[in-house]
Amino acid sequence: MSYEAPASDHGDHDSPYEGLFGGDSDHWAFGTDFDDPLAGIEAAIPDGADPRALAQYCLMLGDDALVLSHRLSQWCGRAPELELDIALANIALDLLGQARLLLARAASADPSVVPPLPGSSDGLPSPVPAEDALAFFRDDRAYRNAWLAEAPNGDFGQTVARILLFATARLALLERLRASRDAVLAAVAAKGVRELAYHRDFAARWFVTLAQGTEESRGRVTAGLAEVWRHHDELFRAHPVERELAGAGVAVDPADVAGEADAALATVLAASDLPWPRVPQAGQLGGRSGRDGAHTEALSPLLAEMQSVARAHPRGRW
């Protein structure tokens, strides 16, 4: 589609459309002139850290945030009330911001993780920022998120329970990650702890409210907790990459924060007058988990929705 700027009717004054249509009219479909998300942060690889392992670790944390952000964005216009609609959207945006930084760090640590544009064989440089290429042009097997992030939303009670489990675990991890020897991870964690503290408190307040509310609300949040609790242990099961980088002072072994996270959850359950869940944990797929690229059937449809426009128009112009 071509656009023609209307003739100016302001005499000698510049047309208000000149800034939009003057010069190069080709614009990348996903935006142009983005600032480097890592600008101003020391991006050198810490001594003793394997760049490939660092990239994989950043994909793990980044994919957790990206996939859950998209899940929560599916509540837009559907939450029980307007205030909750806005709150869930804000949590999704916080996670999206974390994802952008972490995916950008993965690309800077190991550029080989960045996928090419679909059908790209012309040798031209990609117009797509690395973090966007990682978000829109990887398939499910290349994603490293935990299963909890990709699980369907369910009802509001289940979503509250999922945010509570995720935010509690991630907050405990990011609090320690602020001491990372990698300056980017330390910066992401320093900002993220404030965001995750809000996410956890939002979920905890609503969890207690629903549990102490009507018989219907208590039943729904209890059922929702049982559903997402199947993925609780995966959050604290250390992957070899996490253990390697934790030994180098770059990452955090999630097993080391399990007790801290569970203590916070126990406080919420006590306030809700609910017992500790006794739910069998989801087993691995052939000995592999989400950290290894093995996912549930829920992830592929989510990615198909999230990536549809980018994949249909990988070099789209508007």
* Structural domain contains residue 7: no
* Structural domain contains residue 11: no
Within 8 A by CB and 6+ apart from 58, the residues are 102, 103, 105, 106, 109, 185
Altogether, the residues listed in the chain come to a count of: 318
Looking at residue 185, the DSSP 8-state letter turns out to be: H
Alpha-carbon distance 21 to 36, whole Å? 25
Domain holding 208, by residue range, is 18-312
Looking at residue 138, the DSSP 8-state letter turns out to be: -
Alpha-carbon distance 16 to 19, whole Å? 7
Tens-place pLDDT, residues 66-116: 999 999 999 999 999 999 999 999 999 999 999 999 999 999 999 999 998
Task: Please report, in tens digits, the pLDDT of each residue of the chain (318 residues total).
Answer: 333 334 444 444 444 334 333 443 333 334 444 467 777 777 889 999 999 999 999 999 999 999 999 999 999 999 999 999 999 999 999 999 999 999 999 999 999 999 988 876 666 667 788 999 999 999 999 999 999 999 999 999 999 999 999 999 999 999 999 999 999 999 999 999 999 999 999 999 999 999 999 999 999 999 999 999 999 999 999 999 999 999 999 999 999 999 999 999 999 999 999 999 999 999 888 889 999 999 999 999 999 999 999 888 887 654
pTM, two decimals, is: 0.87
* Cβ atoms of 221 and 157 closer than 8 Å: yes
Type and span of the H or E element at 232: none
Within 8 A by CB and 6+ apart from 218, the residues are 210, 211, 212
* Structural domain contains residue 5: no
Number of domains the chain contains: 1
Type and span of the H or E element at 67: helix 51-73
Tens-place pLDDT, residues 190-205: 999 999 999 999 999 9
Burial of 73 (0-12, 13-18, 19+ CB in 10 A): middle
CATH code for the domain of 105:
1.20.1260.10
Type and span of the H or E element at 45: none
* Structural domain contains residue 125: yes
* Structural domain contains residue 12: no
Looking at residue 134, the DSSP 8-state letter turns out to be: H
* Structural domain contains residue 3: no
